[in-house]
Structure 1
Amino acid sequence: MDIKARLTAQALAEGFVACRICRPDSVPEVPERLDAFLEAGYHGQMGWMEERKHWRGDPSVLWPEARSVIMLAESYAPEHDPLAILERPDLGAVSVYAQGRDYHDVVKKRLKRLARWLIEQEPCQVKVFVDTAPVPEKALAQAAGLGWQGKHTNIVSRDWGNWAFLGSVFTTLELEPDAPEVDRCGSCTACQEVCPTNAFPAPYKLDGRRCISYLTIEHKGPVDEKMRSALGNRIYGCDDCLAACPWNKFAVAASDMRYHGSAGGTLAELVVLDDVAFRTRFSGSPVKRIGRDRFVRNVLYSIGNSGDLSLRDAAQALCEDPDGAVADAARWAVAQLAL
């Protein structure tokens, strides 16, 4: 087999569900799309997107010596209906991708093993990326033929649905690129219609300021009161648009069971976490990165939406919390439970 065929076989052996190749300069449409996204203010408080747009807009600028980009997908498909928990207002809903081990750690180790294998096969240099650098992974994934960016802006594949992490290996090795994937969403609007906050102003466009994943993870300070009821019991991220995609009938089971866990819990036990308890409970989890204050803020919004009067005292106890957003959320929750 040639190096590309052997690379693909090695990637699958490592646990990736797909491996495709593109050039660093194969996404010329990204700068214009990124500028439009930023000019509309859809990035909200994510100022780093503006600051690093010259890199994110052109992958060839990130590492000029790179000649090929190896794009990889790793499935984290859930074993259960991810939306069933939304019918349990006493529980905090955590996005599927964050219910187990932090994917940054798991995927990056796989990428590094694959990169080392490549260096052993052919003299070249490599750099690996997993959502930790200004790399337009989704655009590169479509250019490489992994899948297409669906109307919810996430990558969708007819082979494995849309439950997958993306990773990339940039290399100085010349590899034959694959054909880009074409859009197969057709007339389907399931992901648009299911969004609780109407975060899609148009197909293929996401207003991050209205996205529950953004609001519960990236947004600092109090969430707009008009948006709070739509959060329901989602305390970290949201899976609605991903779960609604009909291409998930082809979802491939996750190869690493460390992605499956129970990061949530009852609102009653989560709302009382202090900083030490929070860090201990979510050690090794993506949830840990938002910190205790933002997390408990989210839990309090869920308590306010729960209608459960037994949680009123727990919320009342945080009305004077040192963190202003937590205190504000607590007072809101108490007021909601009094309605």
Structure 2
Amino acid sequence: MPSDASLEERIRSKAAELGFAACGFARADAAPEAGPGLREWLAEGRHGEMAWMEARADERASPNGLWPEARSIIALGMSYAPATDPLALAGAPSLGRVSVYAQGGDYHKAVKQGLKALGRWLADETGCELKVFVDTAPVMEKPLAAAAGIGWQGKHSNLLSREHGNWLFLGIVMTTLDLTPDGAASDHCGSCSRCMTACPTGAIDAPHRIDARRCISYLTIEHHGPIPVEFRAAIGNRIYGCDDCLAVCPWNRFAEAGRANRAFLPRRELVAPRLADLLALDDGGFRQLFAGSPIKRIGWARMMRNCLIAAGNSGDPGLIAAVGRHLASADPVVAEAATWAASRLPASLDRGLAGDGVGVGTAR
């Protein structure tokens, strides 16, 4: 880096050294439309059970609502572009489909480590004050990243980049520095609506409008109770998240898997897990398998619920015993999902379970 390089150029260079594929700058007040849009979305109840979004809405609405001293935003992205087709397991009903972002290491940890390292370097270089954020704080990363020019929000509401498609994990640094803004990225979706058409449950009901209550990612990750029956068939064999709206985006053809951060390389056991194996896990086995994975946070019961819904959609008689193991679960949500799955499997189910001395109920 030349000795006369600007601070912004030096920050970009350091960010790249730390594994970030994208870096941009914006003023702290650069996304004024984000707050009203959030409040409208919350007022319509589209956040479902995500009460944490409503609880700190005023802070989430703008960076200065969270930290009044913030003057600039550094938006950063780490690539997790997949090397294989995220939809490849759609025709393998006895295997579970795990969203690409969750097949490797926990992005919270990897991105936070990079942000902290960048923050320490920047504080040493300039003496500034700063705060770093990854997903778990009341910060609207996507509008801020768009304002900083590293991409635009597609019709599926996720950030899109001409270099990285929609495969970026986002992190935000707020700082008291006055950095030169890059300017907002322009929208390059045009008339394309593939993401909207691809959504299995119609959760994207208008461009940039998502109803989380219908979204498979929300239903399999954030939603705690029984999954509404109306969405169960559409879930197919998705057991954690959904990549459909992301996977069909034409801009992904420019995303290079070789640029993905190595922390997110998929773990072999999570690429195409067998439903039978997952349904055999107890709580300890679940924790061991998903150690270091973002999947661990949903807990054993929600994972069993998801796997039972997938088993019920599979039509695979080989899953009879795996389903039957959960019919008498002490967790009512798991037991209900098992009963529903049992009612969906082939007629030979009764005989298969009878041999194990387990009764079968009827799901409605």
Quote the offset at 1:256 in angstroms: 2.4
Aligned to 2:138: 134
Of the structure 1 ranges 126-135 and 245-254, higher mean CA displacement relative to structure 2 is found in 245-254
Aligned to 2:63: 59
Q: What TM-score results when the alignment is normalised by the length of structure 1?
A: 0.98
Report the 3-state secondary structure (helix = DSSP H, G, I; strand = E; otherwise coil) of the residue aligned with 1:265.
coil
Aligned to 1:213: 217
Aligned to 1:247: 251
Q: How does 1:52-91 map to 2 (within 5 A)?
A: 52-91=56-95
Report the 3-state secondary structure (helix = DSSP H, G, I; strand = E; otherwise coil) of the residue aligned with 1:197.
coil
Structure number, greater radius of gyration: 2
Quote the offset at 1:110 in angstroms: 0.7
Quote the offset at 1:258 in angstroms: 2.7
CA distance in 2, matches of 1:309, 1:21: 55
Q: What TM-score results when the alignment is normalised by the length of structure 2?
A: 0.91
Report the 3-state secondary structure (helix = DSSP H, G, I; strand = E; otherwise coil) of the residue aligned with 2:210.
coil
Aligned to 2:319: 311
Query: What residue identity is the alignment partner of 1:270?
Result: L
Quote the offset at 1:221 in angstroms: 0.9
User: Which residue among 329, 336, 339 is the counterpart of 2:344?
Assistant: 336
Corresponding pairs, count? 339
Structure 1 unaligned spans of 5+: none
Aligned-pair identity (%)? 53
Structure 2 unaligned spans of 5+: 348-364
Query: What residue identity is the alignment partner of 2:181?
Result: P
Q: Is this contact kept in 2: 1:155–1:162, CA < 8 A?
A: yes
Q: How does 1:95-244 map to 2 (within 5 A)?
A: 95-244=99-248
Q: Is this contact kept in 2: 1:161–1:252, CA < 8 A?
A: no
Residue by residue, what CA displacement relative to the aligned partner does 1:179-224 show, whole Å, maximum 9, x if unpaired? 1011110000010111111111111100000100000000011011
Q: Is this contact kept in 1: 2:133–2:172, CA < 8 A?
A: yes
Residue by residue, what CA displacement relative to the aligned partner does 1:235-260 show, whole Å, maximum 9, x if unpaired? 00000000010001111334422312
Aligned to 1:257: 262
Aligned to 2:46: 42
Residue by residue, what CA displacement relative to the aligned partner does 1:6-41 show, whole Å, maximum 9, x if unpaired? 111111121111110111111111121111111211
Residue by residue, what CA displacement relative to the aligned partner does 1:148-173 show, whole Å, maximum 9, x if unpaired? 00000000011211101000111111
Report the 3-state secondary structure (helix = DSSP H, G, I; strand = E; otherwise coil) of the residue aligned with 1:201.
strand
Aligned to 2:354: none
User: Which residue among 291, 297, 318 is the counterpart of 1:283?
Assistant: 291
CA distance in 1, matches of 2:119, 2:263: 22
RMSD after superposition: 1.0
CA distance in 1, matches of 2:321, 2:216: 26
Residue by residue, what CA displacement relative to the aligned partner does 1:92-145 show, whole Å, maximum 9, x if unpaired? 110000001100001110111111111121110111101010100000011111
Residue by residue, what CA displacement relative to the aligned partner does 1:224-282 show, whole Å, maximum 9, x if unpaired? 11110000000000000000100011113344223122325100000111111100110
Q: Is this contact kept in 2: 1:221–1:324, CA < 8 A?
A: no
